[in-house]
Amino acid sequence: MQQKNKPSATEYKQSSVMANILFGSRWLQLPLYLGLIVAQAVYVFFFGVELVHLVAKATHLVEADIMLIVLGLIDVVMISNLLIMVIVGGYETFVSRLNLEGHPDEPDWLSHVNANLLKVKLATAIIGISSIHLLKTFINAENLTDKVLIWQTIIHMTFVFSAVAIAYIDKLMSHSQPSQH
């Protein structure tokens, strides 16, 4: 039987340096998450502008217009929720732990977040956002062509199919991995 040679101190040090560089590269994602926080602030501003618009013109709007504006506000909130999932879940999964154990505002899902769960949650959020867009389209259907209605429905169903496929693959992967007790 052949014995493996132990790495020399120089080889070990080089390997350790490379490992530290590779592991440290996860911090390159920090500016991306900070950028998403800025995008979140833009959505908060946009929500405020639309809310002021709704309140200021409420007496002059018909019900369908009010519904479209409110659906737009819901859309902004859902996109904002999506941003939070990506920012908090992605940072926790790929960059560094947030150490929120015991914090009264810690989201329930954060304690068991992983890349697969994040994908399923994101796919579900995208379906919700797409549903809002599709509902807005159907409310405004008389002003749109059949082609637009058909394509938006096809795109929405593609999102639904993709989310189901992602969830199914996640389920298969979680059952094929040995349980850790």
Per-residue model confidence as pLDDT tens digits over 7-27: 777 776 777 888 889 988 999
**DSSP letter string, 167-181:** HHHHHHHHHHSPP--
Q: How much is the pLDDT for 31? A: 95
Determine what percent of the chain falls in helix, strand and coil, rounding each to the nearest 5: 80, 0, 20
Q: What pLDDT band is residue 48 in, cutting at 50, 70 and 90?
A: very high
Q: Taking the alpha carbons of 42, 48, 52, 54 in that order, is the dihedral positive or negative?
A: positive
Q: What pLDDT band is residue 152 in, cutting at 50, 70 and 90?
A: very high
Judged against a pLDDT cut of 80, whether residue 84 lies above it is answered with yes
Q: How much is the pLDDT for 60? A: 94
Q: How much is the pLDDT for 103? A: 80
Q: Are 171 and 119 in contact (CB under 8 A)?
A: no
Parse the chain into domains and list their residue ranges.
Answer: 28-176
Judged against a pLDDT cut of 90, whether residue 5 lies above it is answered with no
Structure tokens at 52: 């002021």
**Residue 99: which H helix or E strand, with range?**
none
Q: What pLDDT band is residue 181 in, cutting at 50, 70 and 90?
A: very low
Q: What's the pTM? A: 0.71
**69 compared with 105, residue with greater pLDDT:** 69
Of 115, 108, 112, which Cα lies nearest the Cα of 180? 112
Q: CA-to-CA distance for 163 and 123, rounded, in angstroms?
A: 5
Judged against a pLDDT cut of 60, whether residue 52 lies above it is answered with yes
Structure tokens at 129: 């956002």
Judged against a pLDDT cut of 60, whether residue 149 lies above it is answered with yes
